[in-house]
Amino acid sequence: MWDSAKTVPSHVKPLPHHPSYIRTLISQKSRARAIWQRSRYPLDKSHYNTLTQKLKRLLANLKSESYANYTSSLTGIDCSLWKATKNYYASTILHLLYVMLIAAGHYLNNLKLKYLQTTYQTLFNHTIILSHLSNQNSRS
């Protein structure tokens, strides 16, 4: 073959952070999705949905367990507790700032809306008055 061409590995490395039973379930779910997309049978769809829900529950449990292990391993000696607390509060503060910016945007949009309403209402009232006066002048 060509010496300059890169060879593609025949296998894909599994994700290292997921246990084998979760990787197996992911491949089963992918296979079930492919079958359902080809057949469009309701039974295939329900099998795919069942696998999807099972995978979601397992991933949620795995995430919960890994977080519990992480929090139990924090200590004050190596400053890991301080770093985790600092990261938590930093992300919380960023979220609060984001929410405040959204609220401020809504407030400003409401102010703009009220300004436009009063401006157009004033203009509309002036045009009504002017048209009313021009109608009176044309009658006399």
pLDDT at 77 over 90: no
What's the Rg (C-alpha) of the chain?
32
Task: Work out the number of other CB atoms within 10 angstroms of the CB of residue 62.
Answer: 14
The reported pTM is 0.54
The structural domains of the chain, with segments of one domain joined by +, span 15-73, 76-140
Question: Residues 7-63: pLDDT tens digits?
Answer: 666 666 655 688 999 999 999 999 999 999 999 999 999 999 999 999 999 999 999
Q: How confident is the model at residue 64 (pLDDT cuts 50, 70, 90)?
A: very high
Task: Report the sign of the C-alpha dihedral through residues 110, 115, 116, 117, in that order.
Answer: positive
- pLDDT reported for residue 50: 98
